[in-house]
Amino acid sequence: DSGVTQTPKHLITATGQRVTLRCSPRSGDLSVYWYQQSLDQGLQFLIQYYNGEERAKGNILERFSAQQFPDLHSELNLSSLELGDSALYFCASSVRGGGTYGYTFGSGTRLTVV
């Protein structure tokens, strides 16, 4: 157990639907990062939050949004889902910026859009 908890582990949904992925960071970590892993794109950075505020954005689609709550857990919302959104979504956490302290990854949520 890495200390980063992601729920659900698996999600199957239909095109056009909306889902929410949840991430609880490791105790004491203030930063949360979301990544998408797919066969064709590899591991892509989506977005970072630090202590409740958005810190950095990657190639995140406008249909996707995220937030970090006061208790530091984070949610990634995916809407108007398309077949191409099927992927493994990882959450990672770090104490602050991650470079010095490292990143801890959760086990991921596997999203299948049918």
As measured in angstroms, the least distance from the Cβ of 80 to other proteins is 26
Is 14 or 39 the residue whose CB approaches other proteins more closely?
Answer: 39
Cα separation, 90 vs 88, in Å, equals 6
Cα separation, 51 vs 89, in Å, equals 21
As measured in angstroms, the least distance from the Cβ of 114 to other proteins is 19
CA distances from 1 to 10, 42, 45, 104, 105 (A): 17, 24, 23, 10, 10
- Nearest by Cα to 97 from 47, 30, 38: 30
Is 16 or 28 the residue whose CB approaches other proteins more closely?
Answer: 28
Q: Which positions touch other proteins (CB under 8 A)? A: 2, 31, 33, 35, 42-43, 45, 48, 50, 55-56, 58, 90, 92, 94, 96-100, 102-108
Is 12 or 18 the residue whose CB approaches other proteins more closely?
Answer: 12
Is 54 or 82 the residue whose CB approaches other proteins more closely?
Answer: 54
